[in-house]
A and B are shown apart, each in its own frame.
Chain A
Amino acid sequence: MTRSSVKKCLGKGLVFLAVFLLVASLSTGQAAERVITIGAPLPLTGPLSPEGQKQAQGYDLWAETANKAGGVKVATEHYKVKIVYNDYQSNTPRAVQLAEKLITEDKVNFTFSPFGSGATKAASGVSEKYGMPTIAATASSEEVYNQGYKYLFGTFTPNPTLTEPLSDIVKEKVPAVKKVAILARNDLFPLAIAQCMDASAKKRGFNVVFFEKYAIGTMDHASALTQIRGAQPEWIFATGYINDLILIRKQMGDLKVSAPVVTMIAGPAYKEFVDAAGPLAENITSASWWHPAVRYKGEDVFGSTENYNKLFREKYGIIPDYAQASASVAGCLFQIAIEKAGTLDRKKVRDTLASMNVMTFWGPVRFGETGQIISLKPPVFQIQKGTQVVIFPPEIAQANLLVGVK
């Protein structure tokens, strides 16, 4: 090579190097805009999409509120929060795959669980494997938390905390109730809570005359409902997710199945259920882990239940239900834990969550040995004149139980 051509090469090489260094410094410059990413695999489409969308609304409101208030404080720096969504189309195996992808490929700092006890349990193996602190906003069954995992935390109290107060109320207020019929979706949470209901009912001397499961995806409940009608129970307890319960309630109407007390979990807490069921929703009872009528003042970024309700209504135009509130508080709990720990180190954040004892807009938060929350008092409510009203606990009760579901 000639001298001039070597010079040309060197020259080009230097220019290239300079450009490369500039670009590299710009990219690290972007990374210097500090962001905490939280992975959220959700059923944004598919039969569970109503529930998935609610979780997303809850996360988004928290992220937006936290960022507006300056972000999450980690030691002396402020970090913005970004939720990374992946849609698993209501397909549980895909939820597990995406949970792993979020950790290994998207390299998120923390994760939220998918929707529901079933998918949460399935994906929890992944987060435990990678030592990834995960908060489950929608998993209540004790079976989810019985694997000895250290990195999973849940904001719902165990299922008996719903069925026990319900059974007490019915036993006390509706002495005519002797026979109970239970129809459960063959899925982790709906079946688990049905089994808890069975236990709670038997404990109080009720006669469980019917207890059957229906397959996921069942669209015709005529046979089961006909059998229930034949058994003439005074209390019908149906479990499933919102789409199942709307269908069951409609088909109950078709077959003229009625009872003094009809309880459905989990669906009547949502406005969508009341809208879809119309007059058939009247007097249906249910229980959940939170209700907008509770009044707590918390350390979280929302400050109080009233403020949470207000901000939610401003953003979405509707009153929040427990699904959105639980998702928001999951975000708040990560924020509180990170700020208390003063670091993004996963083990330290995990330890902070495990020993946490705080008041939030959701209620008092303290996790038990298994990672499931143990400090809440879930409300029981009934749909009266098209609105959900709280009937328990007495401190926040808005009405009394009405008997008779046509």
Chain B
Amino acid sequence: MLYLQILVNGIVLGGLYACIAVGFSLVWGVLNVINILHGTFIVIGSYTAYFAYIKLGIHPLLSIPIAAAILFLLAYAFQSGMINKVVAAPVLTTLTLTFGLDLFVNNLLIVAFKADYRKVILEHPLGVLTLAGITIPEDKLAAMGLALLLTGLLFWVLDASRVGRAIVAVRMDREAAALMGVKVKKIYALTFAIGGVMAGAAGSLISLIYPISPLNSLPFLGKAFVICVLGGLGSVPGAMLGGLTLGVLESFGALAFGPEHAVTLSFITLILFLLFRPTGIMGKRGYE
């Protein structure tokens, strides 16, 4: 019974983790850009949901489109304005740029909102579901469900839409895609923007569950890193699998080694994967 509850905890957590990571994985896999801003994008999504709730009374689940729209514009602007200038450069160059941008934006958030923890306290809190002795908080279940939905939606976009196929094409071969008439710079900006959208949506969901503060951007980024390595870069199913794996691993790890070692365990797993299976569980890099 205990193990089943721990497993369910892990799966529910994993769904949320997947949502955090999928945007990051997309950008890294397609643009070869390690977007250090990703954590801060998530936090911006959370703040959007928070202020939409306290100022306009909009439920955080309903402010997902608002957060997504804001992050879309922001990410598009960053990419076309700055990151596109170095996108063909070695990955360390783009990493340095996104790192610098993150320092700037994150500290701007601290100045604007202070580093204090905010919490979305719902007037009508979502309850708790009990099934066969297993308890699942409804807010985490909703977050997981939506995470799966958004991830599925992204997968469908990449698979079935023109823009999606163009993104995949650019990843496979940039020059060939350009020769086929794909506007590469625009696709890059769009991909980065989609990464931002996923981050914003994740942030909106997360505002229901975790406290909101600019200081939380690095822990989210750290999780995204581990999940990408676990699941395989640039793969949407990989991000899902990586997220679930990490959630379950942390859950059982806390049981086995104590809660204070849960984070240590995830980073040890990261190192082991990097050493022995750097392509991750899915074993492939890039989009098919």
Contacts and interface: CB of A to CB of B under 8 A. Distances in A.
Contacts of A106: none
A164 B255 CA distance: 30
A47 to B, nearest CB: 6
Nearest to B215: A46
Interface of B is mostly: helix
10 contacts: A49-B115, A50-B116, A90-B215, A213-B259, A222-B251, A223-B9, A230-B2, A254-B140, A256-B130, A276-B119
A212 interface: yes
Nearest to A44: B114
A255 B135 contact: yes
B137 A224 contact: no
B66 to A, nearest CB: 24
A229 B135 CA distance: 11
A226 B5 contact: yes
Contact of A215 (B5, B110, B255, B260): B260
A212 B260 contact: yes
Contacts of B81: none
A26 interface: no
Contacts of B250: 220, 223
Given A226-B2, A230-B2, A214 B117 contact: no
B210 interface: yes
Interface string B253-282: 011001111110000000000000000000
A90 B115 contact: yes
A47 B260 CA distance: 18
A11 interface: no
Interface in B1-45: 1-2, 5-6, 9, 13
Nearest to B211: A243
Contacts of A21: none
Interface in A199-227: 212-215, 217-224, 226-227
A49 B114 contact: yes
Point out which of A222, A224, A246, A247 has the most chain B C-beta atoms below 10 A from its C-beta: A222
B259 A219 contact: no
Contacts of B5: 226, 229-230, 255
A63 B78 CA distance: 47
A49 B263 CA distance: 24
Contact of B255 (A183, A220, A223): A223
B213 A47 contact: yes
Contact of A227 (B2, B115, B117): B2
Interface residues of A, number: 35
B7 to A, nearest CB: 10
B13 to A, nearest CB: 6
A285 to B, nearest CB: 23
B23 to A, nearest CB: 20
A278 interface: yes
B121 A254 contact: no
Interface residues of B, number: 36
A45 B260 CA distance: 24
Contacts of B6: 223, 226
Contacts of A218: 259-260, 262-263
A48 to B, nearest CB: 9
A209 B75 CA distance: 50
A122 to B, nearest CB: 19
A49 B210 CA distance: 17
A278 B216 CA distance: 24
Given A219-B216, A226-B2, 15 more contacts: A47-B116, A90-B115, A219-B219, A220-B210, A221-B259, A223-B6, A223-B9, A224-B259, A226-B5, A247-B211, A253-B128, A254-B128, A254-B139, A256-B128, A256-B135
Contact of B259 (A49, A214, A229): A214
Nearest to A256: B135
A86 interface: no
A144 to B, nearest CB: 21
Interface string B106-146: 00001000111101010000001010000101011000000
Contacts of B140: 254
Contact of B262 (A215, A243, A251, A255): A215
A182 to B, nearest CB: 12
A65 interface: no
A375 interface: no
